[in-house]
Amino acid sequence: MPAVSKGDGMRGLAVFISDIRNCKSKEAEIKRINKELANIRSKFKGDKALDGYSKKKYVCKLLFIFLLGHDIDFGHMEAVNLLSSNKYTEKQIGYLFISVLVNSNSELIRLINNAIKNDLSSRNPTFMCLALHCIANVGSREMAEAFASEIPRILVAGDTMDSVKQSAALCLLRLYKTSPDLVLMGEWTSRVVHLLNDQHMGVVTAAISLITCLSQKNPDEFKTCVSLAVSRLSRIVSSASTDLQDYTYYFVPAPWLSCKLLRLLQCYPPPEDGAVKGRLVECLETILNKAQEPPKSKKVQHSNAKNAILFEAIALIIHYDSEPNLLVRACNQLGQFLQHRETNLRYLALESMCTLASSEFSHEAVKTHIETVINALKTERDVSVRQRAADLLYAMCDRSNAKQIVAEMLSYLETADYSIREEMVLKVAILAEKYAVDYSWYVDTILNLIRIAGDYVSEEVWYRVIQIVINRDDVQGYAAKTVFEALQAPACHENMVKVGGYILGEFGNLIAGDPRSSPLVQFNLLHSKFHLCSVPTRALLLSAYIKFINLFPETKATIQEVLRCDSQIRNSDVELQQRAVEYLKLSSIASTDVLATVLEEMPPFPERESSILAKLKKKKGPGAVSVTEMEDGKREGGELNGGGDRGPDASAMAASNASTPSPSADLLGIRPAAPVSAAPASVGSLLVDVFSEAGPAASSAAVNDEGFLRDLEPPTETSDSLLVEGSGDSDSAPPSEDPAPPLSEADELLNKFVCKNNGVLFENQLLQIGIKSEYRQNLGRMYLFYGNKTSVQFASFTTTVSYPGELQSQLNVQSKPVEPLVEGGAQIQQVLNIECLTDFSEAPLLNIKFRYGGALQNLTLKLPVTINKFFQPTEMASQDFFQRWKQLSQPQQEAQKIFKANNSMDTEVLKAKLLGLGMALLDNVDPNPENYVCAGVIQTKGQQVGCLLRLEPNAQAQMYRLTLRCSKDSVSRRLCELLAEQF
């Protein structure tokens, strides 16, 4: 930068600033400013032409006045004139004024752009840098349109000075962030990447910021940067602090550049080239080794720079998740920071170890620090560090340490900060369910949780314990006994009363034999809490009372007296009044048999993922719990996951039609409560969304197949339904391009879902598509979850379902429109209703279009809807099976295939796949116990197709013989094709 001469001091500006500072009041300041503005205006409008110095001085005064908070409505033209000056100080002030005061809609923008173009083509490095800084500071779309094609040329030109290259790289980065669709690298890509080899470290540092941003959005175009980045990192890591003197910071060579290189490498998978990968592993090992060396300086700047590189290296090791040795070493290094005196280091170590805990290679190493983490949870002064410690305990938990971790988290809950209590409660509930092998321990844990932190126990938690108790006969008596004892406490939380009322209403008879818990004692205990509870809890207790009349006839008179009192049948709350009146009448006029039928024990809940995970995801924010994690939660907690996600609302305990359900029956807590007049919440639907905040509407209160089928019934043409035909247009205008052809791997993705209904259908670096579906008879419902994996918004997001060939006459798919905007890190859902009209062999196509960074993304997948999804399992005895087998003996009715095993011939895996197919797996039917036989009926709208299957494995030859006999030949062939890919 040129030296500023003595004459450029602008004494008049200094005097004006001094006058402003000496003003004793706001009024005096405004008066002085108005005087100065009048003087400047007269100078600008005067006949005498001002020289460059005077213009610069007056423009500076206007800029200072603007920075004080006053509006400036003149002087812009004088500032633009300064841009054409050949003096640095005058041009600098002109650009400063333009950057601060001129907006992109100004009429002067064309003059400004011309001045900038002149400076960019002047080859004067100082003027070029000023122009580039102005472009970056303004950063408007107009600036991008004018200069986006010019700046890359300056950046890669051989005769451009290093300081200009630095400014050009950062200017281009700014424009790319504001208008990515206008900054197209194209032919410049390879030359920009090769800036990583530049000899000037400042150019490399600026260029890598640009390359990292470009790589995140266009990884394939810039993948050649990996080898160059590794090479540059290797040279820095292996250099001594004296080798890079100008870029050594407190004995650490180029720390900022090292961090940026490591961050760039996190945009890509591990290098495929063995030599490059070996060199990178060597770099990471060197960084870990240097972390163990004694510090070369006691200054905090030295340790900060050193640790910054170390944490970025550990982040890269975690990202690769492929080097067990490095992962364990990283874990041990982080373990040393857990007891460091610096709070920030402890926080970062806990945060990084949370990610390490999810790796199969380092999970055991993380578990060795459990005592240190527990101690941090108890003794840390900073609440954010304690929260990270709780997160790490949650992440490192498995069956071997679950009881210890849950006990410690429960202990901490009693003194935990209010801001994290609800999240802690959810985590304890999830861990207790996920890793419980002893159901009595699970019940004790949840009841203890309610006792300690009842105000923070959401409905999902106590719903879940109810569901599990109902589904497990062996724990019902223990649960009734435990909850009865818990209710005897003088101060009992309302959530405990809810659990107690529900469990005793269902299973109080299991402990009624003990005089200490006789029917009347149970009733009196529950009723003693009645007046302290809210309306929804009182409604639940009334349902428990009517259940008592069925379980214990001797309590009938006492309970009728309670129901008959004015406080019940004349209650101001319509829900309580209606229940009291209906239950009283029901108990008076119904016979014992009718009463037993209406008030029979609740049936087991259908198996489904825990809704507590959905609650935790909602608590953590969008994208925090992926579809995959949901499935893992279901798989690992399978022993307890017998329950569905329907909440045990009080009305569900009574007859389906006995009363109107409570308006609080928001079964998952993830949608607004329905008004009292709304349709009853469904306890029969098997398709409650556990992924999204917008759950599907409940449709029926009856626990039966008809309710499910009625809920899935396609809308008539005259209905006002939100559903639109899958092949029609959505609300947002889709991009004009035709749908892309199906992906090359579309068939492979489809085959993964033949024997399962839930999972991740497709995933790339931008988008994740998850699926959750359920089928009954010839109808089905599918939820598609579109997750934006980037930090950039998806625009014009549209989906279209199409039918190849004759599929439209065989299958009817109707879809709800999706939101046209998907925020970065967010997830949206789409509901598809499916009706099978007749048998089919093709799969419907799902086309997804959206704009990402201005570029159109267009992909087509095959929806995993196959004919076997409409199977109804059929149980058969051995004699019936072979009799039916012989009846289906015509050649065209049989399809047979002999093929080599593609996967392990494990018995349990085979059984799971056959059950996932949808048919009934028949035991002790085939004379050869090694063989598997199945039976089922495919339900279509037009007809039913009976199917029999026989699978004969030959473990020695690693071969299978698959035989299918169906009453329709096309079905036999299609099923044979599908199944041959599964084994």
Confidence of residue 751 (pLDDT cuts 50, 70, 90): confident
pLDDT at res. 126:
92
Cα 600 to its chain centre, rounded Å, is 40
pLDDT at residue 33 above 60? yes
Share of the chain above pLDDT 70, in %: 85
- Higher pLDDT pick, 462 / 213: 213
CA-to-CA distance for 324 and 363, rounded, in angstroms? Answer: 11
Count CB atoms within 10 A of the CB of residue 599: 23
CA-to-CA distance for 536 and 923, rounded, in angstroms? Answer: 47
Predicted TM-score (pTM) of this structure: 0.59
Nearest to 455 by CA among 484, 430, 491, 487: 491
Q: pLDDT tens digit string along 578-594?
A: 999 999 988 888 788 88
pLDDT at residue 716 above 80? no
Confidence of residue 615 (pLDDT cuts 50, 70, 90): low
Mean pLDDT lowest for which of 573-577, 641-645, 969-973?
A: 641-645
Question: 744-865 belongs to which homologous superfamily?
Answer: Gamma-adaptin ear (GAE) domain (2.60.40.1230)
Buried b (16+ CB within 10 A) or exposed e, 290-305: ebeeeeeeeeeebbbb
pLDDT at residue 167 above 90? yes
pLDDT at residue 617 above 70? no
Strands of the sheet with 855-862, listed across from one edge: 794-802, 845-852, 855-862
Mean pLDDT lowest for which of 138-152, 277-291, 432-446, 629-643?
A: 629-643
pLDDT at res. 406:
92
CA distances from 981 to 518, 709, 866 (A): 60, 31, 13
Establish whether 59 is an annotated binding residue. Answer: yes
**Residue 89 · residue 4 · CB < 8 Å:** yes
Share of the chain above pLDDT 90, in %: 21
Span 935-954, mean pLDDT?
Answer: 88
CA-to-CA distance for 269 and 765, rounded, in angstroms? Answer: 11
Confidence of residue 190 (pLDDT cuts 50, 70, 90): confident
CA-to-CA distance for 813 and 831, rounded, in angstroms? Answer: 10
| Angle at CA of residue 70, ends 66 and 71, nearest 5° | 85
Looking at the DSSP bridge assignments, the partners of residue 946 are 937
pLDDT at residue 643 above 60? no
Span 485-494, mean pLDDT?
Answer: 88
Cα 339 to its chain centre, rounded Å, is 32
**End-to-end Cα separation, the chain, in angstroms:** 72
What average pLDDT does the chain have?
A: 81
CATH, domain 868-982, list 3.30.200.20, 3.30.310.10, 3.40.190.10, 3.30.360.10: 3.30.310.10
Q: pLDDT tens digit string along 122-158?
A: 888 999 999 999 999 888 888 888 888 888 888 888 8
Confidence of residue 610 (pLDDT cuts 50, 70, 90): low
Span 813-836, mean pLDDT?
Answer: 87
pLDDT at res. 877:
83
Span 767-776, mean pLDDT?
Answer: 88
**Residue 468 · residue 461 · CB < 8 Å:** no
Fold of 77-333: Leucine-rich Repeat Variant (1.25.10)
Establish whether 61 is an annotated binding residue. Answer: yes
Establish whether 11 is an annotated binding residue. Answer: yes
CA-to-CA distance for 652 and 647, rounded, in angstroms? Answer: 9
Nearest to 751 by CA among 865, 858, 919: 865
Establish whether 58 is an annotated binding residue. Answer: yes
pLDDT at res. 620:
58
Confidence of residue 681 (pLDDT cuts 50, 70, 90): very low
Establish whether 634 is an annotated binding residue. Answer: no
Nearest to 551 by CA among 515, 585, 518: 518
pLDDT at res. 613:
64
CA-to-CA distance for 978 and 343, rounded, in angstroms? Answer: 57
**Residue 775 · residue 712 · CB < 8 Å:** no
Angle at which helix 627-636 crosses helix 418-434, to 10 degrees, equals 50
CA-to-CA distance for 396 and 370, rounded, in angstroms? Answer: 8
Establish whether 43 is an annotated binding residue. Answer: yes
Establish whether 60 is an annotated binding residue. Answer: yes
For the chain, give the longest Cα–Cα distance. 115
